[in-house]
Chains A and B, each alone.
Chain A
Amino acid sequence: MNFRFLAIALTISWLAIFVFLPHLLLVNTSLLTPHLEHLAVWPATLDNFQKVFTPLYLSVFLHSLELSAIATIICLLIAYPFAWIVSAHTSSVRAWLLFLLVLPFWTNSLIRTYAIKILLGKNGVVNTIMTGLGLWQEPMQLLYTEFAVIFGLVYLLLPFMVLPIYSSFDKLDPTLLEAGRDLGAHTLQRFARIILPLTMPGIIAGFLIVFLPAMGMFYIADLLGGAKNLLLGNIIKNLFLVARDWPLGSAFSVIMMSIMALMLLVYARVNHYVQRRGGLDDQNL
């Protein structure tokens, strides 16, 4: 028993037992028959995946994807200019701005969600201010709506979108822009032909890091969306903990993992492309 053996054995056995095996079991469960008492029983079946695509569940599934996608796109729209502006500053200002960006994210995310609940309530701060200023005739229903869920998702996930985009701006070679200018490209052309393609790996990495967790954050929909089944996470949680349909819950999880794999593939492709064209390093993830 030497050190080398121990270190390798620990690495492999931990990952095998607590990562590989559980994922394998999850895939296996998604292929079993649901049973209210014994959770999942043989025989194997593809029914669960079929069920996901029946009208009953498909619309729920698509709607949850749509909400997460909207939240991700809003994150992107805020994060992209933010990262761009930050990257244009001197390095000490940059460090401060980034520090301020991530500081709130070290506070418990539930507590920040609760803060949003107070902000958006019928008698909350936003309504008080807007009616006080006379901009709204009467308080608007903000809490327990899809708007509140998207607001919360963007709030919690914004830093995760900014950081990868920032890092691709950071790596952007200014001489390329100068070359573009020298060759007579105007602002929009420079953006579309140089800046956007070269920051694309950052955008996709950000999309990946935001979109996937956004689908899973059931507590946002529970607290801000009135406990409706708005996100994939709520559906999975309900299937596991309320309806006790583990095979169907597993099928949804397997689909979620497939989406992840697909997005990683796209990311790898784009990164590869940009590396060849722009000579950048693969260090966004």
Chain B
Amino acid sequence: MTRTSRWFFLMAVFIYLYAPIAILVVNSFNSSKYGHSWKGFTWKWYDKLLDNNALMQAFWHSLTVGLLAASFAAVIGTLMAFSLYRYRFALKKAAGGMLFIVMMSPDIVLAITFLVIFMVLGIQLGFWSLLISHITFCLPFVVIVVYARLNGFDGNLLEAAKDLGAGEARAFFTVVLPLSMPAIVSGWLLSFTLSLDDVIVSSFVTGPSYEILPIRVFSMVKIGVSPEVNALAALMLVVSTILVLIAQLFIRKGKNQ
């Protein structure tokens, strides 16, 4: 391939990836409802979006679940990564295997396993079932990021802390935690986005009293032509781009340390 044809290929792929999104953003300012042709600039879809109570409520619910799930996943995942890194214990291999299964299983299979366990345990579908399943499917990603970080640093640091009389807990909080913070933060961000984006698991484990954004958007999108969805898409695009940039910043910072 010549140089030009290579660039041409790259461009074609990027057009494929960005054209649909560009159309959405442009249409979010189009006063024509069906977006087949340009009928003038307007902010009205954004106004309507903010007036859409059900959607805003779902948005807050999603944000709540996302923040909590990411935070719990970060805490539990860090402890898991630390246990797997530092201790020998029975079932250690099995624990690693379970995390691997969560990571590799198609979402639909995970969704069904969650549904089955909630039924058996008698947990009502709603906030708690959502939170637990979101924490669980985020866990492996936190563990991987934090484990890689732990693997990267000098094991002598921990031993030194212990020699100086620090207990396990103290060594964890004073040495391990600060050192792996960049990894934990990027794990947190990853979890937060995963949680916000999840459709498949949520549509199985969500309950009536706690509708979240992807489910709401799914029914809006199924119902069809509603320019508010375009406005929502444009807003979410901006927010997620900012989040990605922040995440990149943290990863850079982590690398430099």
Contacts and interface: CB of A to CB of B under 8 A. Distances in A.
Interface of A: 2-4, 6-8, 10-12, 14-23, 25-26, 29, 78, 81-82, 85-86, 97, 99-104, 106-119, 123-125, 128, 155, 158, 208, 212-213, 215-219, 222-223, 232-233, 236-237, 240-241, 246, 249-250, 253, 256-257, 260, 264
Nearest to A115: B20
Contacts of B79: 6-7, 10-11
Given A107-B21, A216-B107, A19 B98 contact: yes
A240 B10 CA distance: 42
Nearest to A211: B106
A114 B9 CA distance: 25
A85 to B, nearest CB: 5
Contacts of B237: 107, 111
28 contacts: A4-B83, A8-B87, A12-B95, A14-B136, A15-B94, A15-B98, A18-B114, A22-B113, A22-B117, A81-B1, A103-B241, A106-B240, A107-B240, A110-B217, A111-B24, A111-B232, A111-B236, A114-B229, A115-B21, A115-B23, A115-B233, A118-B23, A118-B27, A128-B36, A213-B106, A216-B106, A219-B199, A237-B204
Contacts of B181: none
A151 B206 CA distance: 29
Interface centre among B20, B101, B193, B204 (most CB of A within 10 A): B20
Contacts of B34: 123
Nearest to B82: A7
Interface in B133-153: 133, 136, 139
Given A25-B113, A108-B197, A236-B108, 6 more contacts: A11-B83, A111-B221, A111-B229, A155-B17, A158-B13, A208-B104
Nearest to B169: A3
A11 B168 CA distance: 16
Nearest to B115: A240
The 9 closest A-B pairs by CB, nearest first: A115-B20, A22-B113, A216-B108, A3-B169, A216-B106, A22-B117, A106-B240, A111-B233, A15-B98
B115 A108 contact: no
Interface in B8-48: 9-10, 13-14, 16-21, 23-24, 27, 34-36
A10 B200 contact: no
A108 B236 contact: yes
Given A19-B102, A218-B108, A125 B24 contact: no
Binding site of B, secondary structure by majority: helix, strand, loop or mixed?
helix
B80 A85 contact: no
B255 interface: no
A212 B110 CA distance: 12
A3 B167 CA distance: 9
Nearest to A101: B17
B112 A236 contact: yes
Interface string B68-111: 00000000100110111001010100110011011011111100
B253 interface: no
Given A8-B87, A19-B98, A111-B229, A256 B106 contact: yes
Given A115-B23, A117-B221, A103 B244 contact: yes
Contacts of B248: 99
Contacts of A125: 19, 23
A240 to B, nearest CB: 6
Contacts of A99: 248
Contacts of A260: 104-106
A115 B16 contact: no
A106 B87 contact: no
A216 B232 contact: no
